[in-house]
Amino acid sequence: MKKPIAFFVHHQGRGHANRTMAIAEHFSRERPVSVMTAAPEQFAGADPRIEVIALPNMIGDAVPTPRLFEEPTPSVMHCVPLGLSSMRRTMRTILDHLDDRDVGLFVVDVSSEIGMLGRIASVPTVQIRMHGDRSDIGHVGSYEAAVGLIAPFDEKLEQADYPAKLRAKTTYTGGLCTTRDPVLSRADARARLGLPEDQKVILVLTGGGGSGTPYAPLTMGARAVPDALWLVAGPVHREGHETDFANLRELGWVSNVTDHIAAADIVIASAGDNTVHEIARVGAKFVVMPEWRYFAEQHRKAEALCALGAAVTASAWPGDYAAWQALLGAAEALDPAALRALHNPDAARNAATWLEGLADELWTGAEADTPRLTVVAAE
């Protein structure tokens, strides 16, 4: 029987869950697979052979005493408050599952602490990598403790300052997009959506990982380019003083994101992993406006995109007509082929193939009678 592969899946946004499901569906049928997450509802409708284990959602849990709260976080960790029973239950659930299922490979998407926990529990662990300034001891330690790293993006998007020894441990799957909707021509997408054939369409695409794109700058854009139809898909953040304009439409959440991207002349979006690759899959002209994330994840990814000529950006949302016009003019000059080349339709399959191969390689010979290594106590 093949060794089980287990995933830890972070509950922020839907990208981690969607990526896990996309990878797991390419595992061989005889490979047991499980997921541990604080957002089990995100796996409703997933392949029934994926065992889902619910973890406590610790967000908002209060530290019991001021004295515990005052204890500093050690530099090797990022967020491990003291005194939380939910933290103990989370760690116990993970360890019990790894032990009960005799897991052969533990894939962490994402958490440095959980990655280290896997290594401490003597389970081979793989970390899913993200962009960002992650040279701190916590990140580097978890990467060094892993038997391998997966970057769900094209190697051309790698950061120039990423350490060579960790790059050597990284498998680049190519741009991984979990969307499967067919990509229509611009004319067909506009016909399906009931959009005018001859009007410029600017799509603003927001995701579920943050509080929403600020609405006020979009009203300035609508005024700066009044002949364009501005469509906003996803949540926006309002401050209460904005004025609406007829050429600026809020669509809320849409189920046919691919059609909207295909119909647009320019797409404005954040630098979230799946968002970037959704746009790359269609091959649109891309204005990337990175959102605040821990360790400057989206800003570093935006820098890499712009260095490749795959997108343009601004240091902040434009606040005047000329700045908007200049930014959109730069986007018009882009060659969409540069962005399109970063998407790989086989990325999820590449990740699954590598993970299964690694699991088998690590455990080949495990039934041998003579152990290869004797463990001795450290002094």
State the Cα–Cα distance between residues 232 and 250, nearest whole angstrom: 5
Q: E-assigned strands of the chain?
A: 5-9, 33-37, 50-54, 105-109, 125-128, 148-151, 170-172, 201-205, 213-214, 229-233, 236-237, 248-252, 266-269, 286-288
SS3 267: strand
Q: At what angle do helices 273-282 and 15-24 cross, to 10 degrees?
A: 60
What is the predicted pLDDT for the residue at 11?
Answer: 86
- The per-residue pLDDT for range 102-139, each reduced to its tens digit, is 999 999 999 999 999 999 999 999 999 999 999 999 99
What is the predicted pLDDT for the residue at 350?
Answer: 98
Here the tokens at position 360 are: 């088998």
Here the tokens at position 56 are: 């406590």
pLDDT over threshold 90, residue 12: no
- The per-residue pLDDT for range 68-82, each reduced to its tens digit, is 999 999 999 998 999
* CB contact at 8 A, 271 and 302: yes
Domain 186-340 has CATH 3.40.50.2000: yes
> With bands split at pLDDT 50, 70 and 90, how would you rate the model's confidence at 1?
confident
Q: What is the pTM of this model?
A: 0.93
Task: Tell me which DSSP letter residue 30 carries.
Answer: T
State the Cα–Cα distance between residues 142 and 77, nearest whole angstrom: 10
- Indicate if 186-340 has the same CATH topology as 5-176+345-363: yes
State the Cα–Cα distance between residues 285 and 281, nearest whole angstrom: 12
Backbone angles phi, psi at 259, to 5 degrees: -60, -40
What is the predicted pLDDT for the residue at 365?
Answer: 86
> With bands split at pLDDT 50, 70 and 90, how would you rate the model's confidence at 373?
low
Q: What is the mean pLDDT of the chain?
A: 94
What is the predicted pLDDT for the residue at 208?
Answer: 61
Q: How far is CA 372 from the centre of its chain?
A: 38
* CB contact at 8 A, 103 and 32: no
> With bands split at pLDDT 50, 70 and 90, how would you rate the model's confidence at 14?
confident
Tell me the mean pLDDT in the region 155-177. 96
- The per-residue pLDDT for range 251-284, each reduced to its tens digit, is 999 999 999 999 999 999 999 999 999 999 999 9
Task: Tell me which DSSP letter residue 118 carries.
Answer: H
- The per-residue pLDDT for range 333-342, each reduced to its tens digit, is 999 999 999 9
What residue type is 303 in one-letter code?
E
The strand pairing partners of 288, in sequence order, are 269
Q: Where are the domains of the chain?
A: 5-176+345-363, 186-340
The strand pairing partners of 172, in sequence order, are 151
What is the predicted pLDDT for the residue at 375?
Answer: 58
| Domain 5-176+345-363 superfamily per CATH | Glycogen Phosphorylase B; (3.40.50.2000)
pLDDT over threshold 60, residue 378: no
State the Cα–Cα distance between residues 320 and 317, nearest whole angstrom: 9
